Chains A and B, each alone.
Chain A
């Protein structure tokens, strides 16, 4: 059974810091990987999608990478802002499956 672990579970940092969120899969047969942001009581907002032929994606201050050989992904946030405070979820689509498998999330707080 595919399991996804996100580390740390919670993170609190001062504004302006660069930070890294981690995600690892027990089964490295990942077809593609997606990072989401969730604000309290809201749906999921897609941040970055790394497709099967890709190893990383960038959008603004965000960069996500995927190492399929180890089953690990990282989300890098540069120059963090209070508006970045949210829960960040990683999710992988397993090869041959039709199910997106989610981690439990990292709750991020950026302090002004």
Chain B
């Protein structure tokens, strides 16, 4: 079945560490997205990519980085510069409508 796979499901980060969240899709979609979800704030766009080797900042890109070396993969790195990284992270891809993954919950310890 086609879909989006996010891993890991739960991730813990120590202060000062960079961590990378994985997002893989087998839907053959060109566009991919990373959103952050916080209680009471809804979903906010971090980065998006419309094609391989190209990506753009969303509304809250500071402290995050991405790469798009393959059509299927769009990993998100949460750097130590992100001061409040604890959140639920959702990856999506799009052709007509959006398809979302099951999310990664990141917690700072």
Q: A98-B48, A99-B58 are in contact. Are A46 and B42 (CB under 8 A)?
A: no
Measured in the bound complex, the distance between the Cα atoms of B51 and A28 in whole Å is 28
Chain B neighbourhood of A98, CB < 8 A: 31, 48, 50, 56
Question: Does B90 lie within 8 Å of A43, measured CB to CB?
Answer: yes
Beta-carbon contacts of A81-108 to B below 8 Å, as 1s and 0s? 0000000010100000011101111000
Binary contact readout B67-109 vs A (1 if CB under 8 angstroms, 0 otherwise): 0000000000000000000001010100011111111010000
Residue contact A104 to B99, C-beta cutoff 8 Å: no
Q: Say yes or no: is B19 at the interface (Cβ < 8 Å to chain A).
A: no
Given contacts A46-B97, A49-B96, A49-B97, contact A99 B45 (CB under 8 A): yes
Answer yes or no: A51 CB below 8 A from chain B CBs. yes
Contact B100 A44 (CB under 8 A): yes
Give the secondary structure class of B's interface: strand
Question: Chain A, interface size: which category?
Answer: 20 to 34
Given contacts A41-B105, A44-B90, is CB(A99)–CB(B48) below 8 Å? yes
Is the beta-carbon distance between A43 and B96 smaller than 8 angstroms? Answer: no
B98 with A43: CB separation less than 8 A: no
Q: Which residue of A lies closest to B6 (CB)?
A: A43
Do A42 and B97 touch (CB < 8 A)? no
Which B residues lie within 8 Å of A43 (CB)?
A: 6, 90, 100-103
Kindly state the separation between the CA atoms of A51 and B99 in the bound complex, as whole angstroms.
15
CA distance A102 to B58 in the complex (A): 14
B residues contacting A by CB (< 8 A) are 6, 31, 33, 40, 42-43, 45, 48, 50, 56, 58-59, 88, 90, 92, 96-103, 105
Other than A41-B103, A46-B98, A46-B99, give 19 A-B pairs with Cβ distance below 8 A.
Answer: A32-B96, A32-B97, A34-B97, A34-B98, A36-B100, A41-B88, A41-B105, A43-B90, A43-B102, A44-B90, A44-B100, A49-B96, A89-B42, A98-B56, A99-B58, A99-B59, A100-B92, A100-B98, A102-B43
Chain A residues at the B interface, C-beta cutoff of 8 Å: 32, 34, 36, 41-46, 49, 51, 89, 91, 98-100, 102-105
